[in-house]
């Protein structure tokens, strides 16, 4: 599926025109176009390759999935690969959508799967139509700004989950070590994915902004600088949150160790309390003559020793917080 739009002199001109007209439109002064493909084949992109003179290697990369985030520069065009971090699944894994783009002085060609909402990019451009006189850089900014906003929202969501995780660490009576570990590893993995995708995108935007492709950023430099600042913030937040998750894991292990020590102290204390009556009854049960043997007085003495010694040990252990 393909959709097309054009602008002339900073105003919207045409929609849904044939791709075969692109070369004629970009030849007009103050006219630029946006072509959007959903799951195209190599045959579909042949029209764009001919109409805009896209390099064959860029077209080859565009139809292959799993490209790394990058910005490749050719003689007359750029090939941009970014990933839209759309959200997270129920298991905490990050949902990403691969988006590719050919960028020429008069045209932007976007390529993505059906799961990517290109309508949001279009709405963002319509909401900032007063910047349309900047041409293709304005289109590129609209795509990057939408991707960056999605990534920021996911990072904020992960930050909230980490806060909840930290609260769960000290929940009394229900430590749930395994659940905390599982959630922590899922969050750490998601943050790793985010950082792996955001950092190369930041480098691509920096290249656009600081001279690798001066024509792309010309006239709309503050907007690209804002996108770059957001990407830097996301990358820094991902690093900080990964450290926070590591701290949660370490704290969880320390708490588990402390709980285990507490249990061992209690078990040992009760074993000591039980050992005293056992020793006393064993002493009075020996086959030798002793004071009170065969008399009620001997029974009372042994019971009294058991009760008193057990109470003394209980008070001592309680005072030391072993029970």
107's enclosing H/E stretch is strand 107-112
Tokens 């909230």 appear where? 160
Predicted local confidence at residue 291, as pLDDT:
65
- Which pLDDT does position 293 carry in this prediction? 60
- 173-230, pLDDT tens digit by residue? 555 666 777 888 888 888 999 999 999 999 888 888 876 555 665 668 888 889 999 9
Percent share of the chain, pLDDT over 90: 23
Least confident range from 33-37, 78-82, 211-215, 253-257: namely 211-215
Q: What is the mean pLDDT of residues 27-34?
A: 88
| CB of 255 closer than 8 Å to CB of 284 | no
Residues 43-77: pLDDT tens digits? Answer: 888 888 888 888 888 888 888 888 899 998 888 88
Instruction: Tabulate helix, strand, coil % of the chain (nearest 5).
Output: 60, 15, 20
> Given a cut of 70, is residue 152 above it in pLDDT?
yes
Angstrom distances, CA of residue 291 to CA of 44, 278, 294: 107, 19, 9
pLDDT band at 26 (very low <50, low <70, confident <90, very high): confident
pLDDT tens for 72-121 read 888 888 899 999 998 888 888 899 999 999 998 889 999 999 999 899 99
Provide the whole-model pTM: 0.76
d(CA 302, CA 98): 81
């Amino acid at each position: 599926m393909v959709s097309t739009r054009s602008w002339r002199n900073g105003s919207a001109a045409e929609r849904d025109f044939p791709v075969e007209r692109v070369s004629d439109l970009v030849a007009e002064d103050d006219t630029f176009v946006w072509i959007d493909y959903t799951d195209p084949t190599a045959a579909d992109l042949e029209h764009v390759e001919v109409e805009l003179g896209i390099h064959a290697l860029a077209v080859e990369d565009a139809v292959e999935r799993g490209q790394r985030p990058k910005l490749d520069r050719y003689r007359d065009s750029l090939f941009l690969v970014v990933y839209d971090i759309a959200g997270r699944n129920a298991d905490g894994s990050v949902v990403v959508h691969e988006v590719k783009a050919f960028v020429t002085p008069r045209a932007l060609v976007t390529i993505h799967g059906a799961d990517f909402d290109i309508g949001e990019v279009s709405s963002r451009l319509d909401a900032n139509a007063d910047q349309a006189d900047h041409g293709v850089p304005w289109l590129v900014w609209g795509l990057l700004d939408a991707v960056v906003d999605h990534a920021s929202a996911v990072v904020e969501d992960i930050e909230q989950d980490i806060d909840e995780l930290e609260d769960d660490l000290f929940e009394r009576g229900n430590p749930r070590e395994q659940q905390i570990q599982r959630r922590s590893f899922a969050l750490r993995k998601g943050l790793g994915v985010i950082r792996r995708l955001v950092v190369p995108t930041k480098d691509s935007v920096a290249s656009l902004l600081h001279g690798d492709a001066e024509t792309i950023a010309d006239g709309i430099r503050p907007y690209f600088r804002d996108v770059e600042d957001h990407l830097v913030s996301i990358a820094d937040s991902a690093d900080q949150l990964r450290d926070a998750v590591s701290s949660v894991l370490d704290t969880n292990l320390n708490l588990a160790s402390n709980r285990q020590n507490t249990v061992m102290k209690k078990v040992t204390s009760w074993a000591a309390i039980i050992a005293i009556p056992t020793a006393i009854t064993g002493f009075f049960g020996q086959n030798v003559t002793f004071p009170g043997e065969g008399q009620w007085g001997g029974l009372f003495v042994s019971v009294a020793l058991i009760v008193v010694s057990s109470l003394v040990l209980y008070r001592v252990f309680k005072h030391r917080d072993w029970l």
